[in-house]
């Protein structure tokens, strides 16, 4: 019996925390990818099946809204289900819950099938069963917004390195999130929290290429960011911050 809802519980260990002693957004994106692939595995359409067809699931878009992030040593749960499947993409939602079952936030993710030889999106007849596994449960966050293009001014440049690369030999989806978050000073996160984050992956970033970062504050606390290699847009993001009601204070700790 294939379960429409997949649930996985974790504990946020001290070594997994950021400097604010919470889960970082990039870590959460890694967990979302992990739980998505566990659910796909349970349905028999995970890594092993896909690679036997010379394909892989790749994350195309992601939107997250968080009331709060899990804190150090806290238990948390990810619940996931698919909202839609067609031959071009699948939409997979996540609820992030704390140990009392209270909602920390929600995420909506859109996945494509990548043909690993042709390096382009593929269709797979064998995935049609996913249509029957859609769960009619709402994901109560704003739909993805239209990303502004060719924005802002260049604020950073760097080269893609070994530790940035994943199994598909392009930049790891959660590492892109770090690229964006690292455009703000450490102390920024003591005073501000991320309430909404969107990312749209456009082109694969391969090892060794140079990446430029562009940014524009389009409204108060509402930031549009873009990664480019030359004229080629690799990835776009929108980050909405809110001032923390109480600034982070870590006792005895810097």
3-class SS of residue 141:
coil
Residue 61 sits at the vertex; the CA angle it makes with 58 and 62, to the nearest 5 degrees, is 110
**Measured on CA atoms in the order 157, 185, 183, 104, is the torsion positive or negative?**
positive
CB of 154 to a copy of itself, least distance (A): 17
Please select the residue that binds a copy of itself; options are 72, 134, 141, 233, rule is CB under 8 A.
Answer: 72
Decide the pairing of beta strands 210-219 and 232-243.
Answer: unpaired
Should residue 17 be labelled a site residue for a copy of itself when binding is judged by CB under 8 A?
Answer: yes
Tokens representing 130 are 């996913």
- Among the residue ranges 62-70, 121-129, 169-177, 214-222, the one whose residues contact a copy of itself (CB under 8 A): 169-177
Should residue 182 be labelled a site residue for a copy of itself when binding is judged by CB under 8 A?
Answer: yes
In DSSP terms, 93 is beta-bridged to: 81, 108
Please select the residue that binds a copy of itself; options are 7, 8, 10, 18, rule is CB under 8 A.
Answer: 18
CB 29 within 8 A of CB 181: no
Q: Judged by CB under 8 A, how many residues of this single chain contact a copy of itself? A: 49
Q: CB nearer to a copy of itself: give 154 or 206.
A: 206
Tokens representing 115 are 């043909």
Should residue 131 be labelled a site residue for a copy of itself when binding is judged by CB under 8 A?
Answer: no
Should residue 216 be labelled a site residue for a copy of itself when binding is judged by CB under 8 A?
Answer: no
Binding string, residues 45-64; x marks residues near a copy of itself by CB under 8 A: --xx-----x----------
CA distance 9 to 30: 14
Should residue 181 be labelled a site residue for a copy of itself when binding is judged by CB under 8 A?
Answer: yes
> How far, in Å, are 47, 71, 110, 174, 181 from residue 57 at the CA level?
8, 30, 10, 15, 25
Should residue 207 be labelled a site residue for a copy of itself when binding is judged by CB under 8 A?
Answer: yes
Should residue 116 be labelled a site residue for a copy of itself when binding is judged by CB under 8 A?
Answer: yes
CB 208 within 8 A of CB 159: yes
Name the residues that contact a copy of itself, by CB under 8 A.
13-19, 21, 24, 26, 30, 33-34, 37-38, 47-48, 54, 72-73, 116-117, 161-163, 165-170, 172, 178, 181-182, 184-189, 206-208, 250-254
């Amino acid at each position: 019996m294939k379960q429409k809802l997949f649930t996985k519980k974790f504990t946020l260990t001290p070594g997994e925390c950021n400097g604010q002693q919470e889960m970082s957004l990039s870590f959460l994106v890694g967990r979302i990818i992990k739980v998505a692939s566990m659910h796909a595995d349970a349905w028999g359409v995970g890594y092993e099946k896909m690679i036997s067809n010379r394909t892989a699931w790749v994350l195309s878009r992601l939107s997250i809204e968080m009331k709060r992030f899990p804190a150090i040593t806290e238990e948390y749960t990810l619940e996931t289900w698919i909202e839609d499947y067609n031959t071009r993409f699948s939409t997979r939602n996540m609820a992030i819950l704390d140990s009392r079952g209270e909602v920390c936030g929600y995420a909506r993710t859109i996945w494509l099938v990548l043909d690993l030889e042709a390096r382009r999106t593929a269709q797979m007849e064998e995935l049609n069963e996913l249509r029957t596994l859609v769960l009619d449960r709402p994901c109560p966050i704003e739909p993805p917004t239209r990303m502004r293009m060719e924005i802002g001014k260049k604020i950073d440049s760097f080269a893609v390195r070994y530790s940035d690369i994943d199994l598909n030999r392009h930049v790891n989806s959660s590492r892109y999130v770090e690229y964006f978050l690292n455009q703000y000073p450490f102390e920024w996160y003591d005073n501000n929290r991320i309430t909404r984050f969107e990312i749209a992956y456009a082109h694969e970033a391969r090892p060794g290429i140079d990446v430029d970062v562009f940014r524009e504050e389009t409204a108060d606390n509402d930031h549009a960011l873009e990664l480019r290699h030359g004229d080629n847009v690799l990835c776009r993001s929108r980050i909405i911050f809110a001032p923390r009601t109480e600034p982070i204070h870590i006792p005895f700790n810097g």
